[in-house]
């Protein structure tokens, strides 16, 4: 992910693109990793809603991917991201538990331990007899 609009020429290109999208009918524009001052100046000059992702507070709204917010990423964390919790280890633990549960399920099915009688739906013998008589 690279910042755009860090030179006068790049900033002008982002502005022109924003106006082009607006002219094409866009109701919202994402300002992704644009200098905050540039994003704010564009926000003042377009009627479309602007949404900042790493582009400062001068847009109409600010968002952050939940994976960044929850600390689920591994490796590179974008400069514009702020981690509020560390869920990566939790997610890893949950994944291990998921794999274990599916393994236990397939083992039970292979060993005919599941489904057991208590997991079945029953039918009264007389109703079963009536059903069987009706289909024979």
Active site residues: 32
- Structural element, H or E, at residue 136: none
State the Cα–Cα distance between residues 48 and 13, nearest whole angstrom.
Answer: 17
Phi and psi, residue 3, nearest 5°: -70, 145
- Structural element, H or E, at residue 1: none
DSSP secondary-structure letter at 67? H
State the Cα–Cα distance between residues 131 and 89, nearest whole angstrom.
Answer: 54
């Amino acid at each position: 992910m690279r910042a755009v609009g860090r030179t006068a020429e790049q900033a002008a290109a982002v502005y022109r693109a924003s106006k082009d999208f607006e002219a094409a009918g866009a109701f919202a524009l994402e300002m992704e990793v644009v200098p905050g001052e540039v994003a704010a100046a564009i926000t003042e000059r377009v009627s479309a809603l602007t949404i900042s992702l790493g582009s400062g507070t001068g847009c109409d709204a600010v968002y952050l991917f939940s994976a960044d917010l929850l600390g689920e990423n591994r490796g590179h964390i974008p400069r514009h991201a702020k981690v509020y919790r560390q869920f990566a280890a939790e997610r890893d633990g949950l994944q291990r538990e998921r794999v274990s549960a599916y393994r236990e399920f397939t083992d039970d099915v292979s060993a005919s331990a599941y489904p057991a009688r208590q997991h079945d739906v029953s039918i009264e013998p007389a109703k079963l007899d009536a059903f069987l008589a009706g289909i024979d």
